[in-house]
Each structure stands twice: as structure tokens, then as C-alpha cells.
Amino acid sequence: MSSTPDSLPPLREVIATYGLGARKSLGQNFLLDLNLTGRIARAAGDLAGCTVYEVGPGPGGLTRALLAEGASRVVAVERDERCLAALADVAAAFANRLEVIPADALEMDELALFGTSGLPVKVVANLPYNVGTALLIKWLRLPVWPPWWASLTLMFQREVALRLVARPSDPDYGRLSILTQWRARPRLLFDVSPKAFVPPPKVTSTIVSITPLDRPVAEAPLEALEQVTAAAFNQRRKMLRASLRSLGDPDTLLATAGIEPTARPEDLPVAAFCALARALAART
């Protein structure tokens, strides 16, 4: 059993030793290049004095980098029990600064997990593609803001990353852009080629950094904001007086929010959706 970071075997060997053949159903595309995992860990900024929350450590390539870059503590949630023995080796090599929780990250109550830790929590993850967007939405739609996390440094399919940062009138602008930009600042950091993964995915990936704003771009009740964006982008090219009809009396709603009935959802800034959400909440 390895007991220092330097004596951990190469990841290819770990995968062979523990029989960690990638499973598509778990969104498994592993990063084996420790230079790249180091770059991703450094993209999260100074990790000293931080707890890092990693979803899906798999064989532990990014996990090793996060620990080597100085994270005080890494809490990693992994659904695939085949990976636990390999991760136990990483924990032993890094003096037990790694805690592995065998669980589904979608079910985790992070506030209960980190609420009293006192250290800032940075989320860093090469997310499984099949649940990446659902996890991000879970971390964005919290009732309390600022959130339990200090930053998110996440790998997404490039197509999803572009939706997070899209501005009004961009083709990728939509519900996810608004939910993200309402209370946070997303930035694209760098692309990662499919060739960097085993097995290679079909598309390019992008590392994204998301930091919470102290306060939202404009006040809005979360549920109402989700209702108006869902209705509006259900028919994104229609004028708002048509697309908001499903919410009832769109003309009054638009007048209360001070928005032209002929405006189109794809052109409307985040603050305008907030005004619509406030108008909707005030009406019900």
C-alpha cells in the first residue's frame, strides 16, 4: 500500500489494479494526465485553508492534484463503489486529508455537511456529464444567498459552458444563463480536448469558474423567476405577450414590469426577467 503522494502509482495502473473500466451509465471519462489535473486544481485559486468538495473522484487523478496543490481537506462524493479502494490509497498517501463519501451527489445535503466547518468550501469537479447540469442547478437554486460554496470550478461539455455565460441575443442565451447570472459570475477558463480523457467523449469540454455575487443582479423570488423563464423560453422566438400567455394576463404582467409586449425573451436582460418575476409574485 502506498503511503506518500510520490509513491502513488500512475493512474493507468490504478485503473488496471482495481478493474475500473469506465462505465458510460456513470458518465465516466477519466483524466489520467496529472499535468492537466494540476492545471484544473490551480484554476480554483489558492486552496490552502479551504475545504474542497469534489463530486466523482473516480480513480482519483483530480483528487491527488487538489491535495498536492494544498487543499486543507478534500471531501469527495463517489457513487461507484469500485473506486473506493483506490481512493483509500490516496487518503492514506495524503495523511487522511481526504474524506470519501460513497453516495449520489444529487442526494447530498451540502449545507448539513459543510454548514459548521468554518472553512470556505470550493467545489472542484470533472462532473459526470449525465448529471452535471442537474448538480449545477441544485447549487444555484438555494433559498439562502450567498451560498455554502465560495466558488465552483467545473468541467462541462463546451455547449453547456457556453449557455452559462451567454448574454442576451446570443444563440445560447436561455434559462440556465439567467439562473446562473442572476446571482453569480460565470467565466470560461480553458478548453479540454476529448483526447485528454479515457475513454474520449464525443465533444470538447470547458473548465468554468463560477463565483457568487454578494447580492443578486436584481431582487426576484426564485420560484417566480423560474416560472417566467420557463414560460418565456418555451417559445423563445415569440413576442413575450404570446410566450407569457401560459401565466395568464401577460399584458398586465408586462406593463407592471415595464417591458414592451413585443419584446422577445432571447433579447431580455436578466434584470428584466427579475422585474417580471416580481410582478408575477405580487399578483399571486
How many residues make up the chain in this entry? 284
Residue 262, number of CB atoms within 10 A of its CB: 10
CA 118 – CA 134 distance, rounded (Å):
27
CA 143 – CA 260 distance, rounded (Å):
30
Q: Is 132 in the site for ligand SAM (CB under 6 A)?
A: no
Q: Is 78 in the site for ligand SAM (CB under 6 A)?
A: yes
Q: Which of 126, 151, 177, 205 binds ligand SAM (CB under 6 A)?
A: 126
Q: How far is the CB of 150 from ligand SAM (least distance, A)?
A: 20
Residues 6+ apart with CB under 8 A from 96: none
Interface size with ligand SAM, residues (CB under 6 A): 23
Its sign, for the CA torsion 220, 223, 224, 227, is: positive
Could you say which residues in the range 13-52 bind ligand SAM, by CB under 6 A? 26-31
Residue number, 31 or 270, with CB nearest to ligand SAM:
31
Q: Is 279 in the site for ligand SAM (CB under 6 A)?
A: no
Q: How far is the CB of 209 from ligand SAM (least distance, A)?
A: 17
Q: Is 95 in the site for ligand SAM (CB under 6 A)?
A: no
Its sign, for the CA torsion 145, 77, 66, 93, is: positive
CA 78 – CA 98 distance, rounded (Å):
12
Q: State the cell numbers at 242.
A: 404570446
Q: How far is the CB of 107 from ligand SAM (least distance, A)?
A: 8
**DSSP-based three-state secondary structure for 70:** coil
Q: How far is the CB of 38 from ligand SAM (least distance, A)?
A: 12
Q: List % helix, strand, coil for the chain (3-state, nearest 5).
A: 45, 20, 35
Residue 9, number of CB atoms within 10 A of its CB: 13
Q: Which of 47, 65, 131, 225 binds ligand SAM (CB under 6 A)?
A: 131
Q: Is 153 in the site for ligand SAM (CB under 6 A)?
A: no
Return left, alpha or beta for 258; rule: phi > 0 is left, psi -120 to 50 is alpha, else beta.
Answer: left
Q: Is 55 in the site for ligand SAM (CB under 6 A)?
A: yes
> Nearest to ligand SAM by Cβ — which residue?
56
Q: How far is the CB of 62 from ligand SAM (least distance, A)?
A: 4
Q: Is 75 in the site for ligand SAM (CB under 6 A)?
A: no
Q: Is 58 in the site for ligand SAM (CB under 6 A)?
A: yes
**Residues within the interface to ligand SAM (CB under 6 A):** 26-31, 55-58, 61-62, 77-80, 83, 104-106, 126, 128, 131
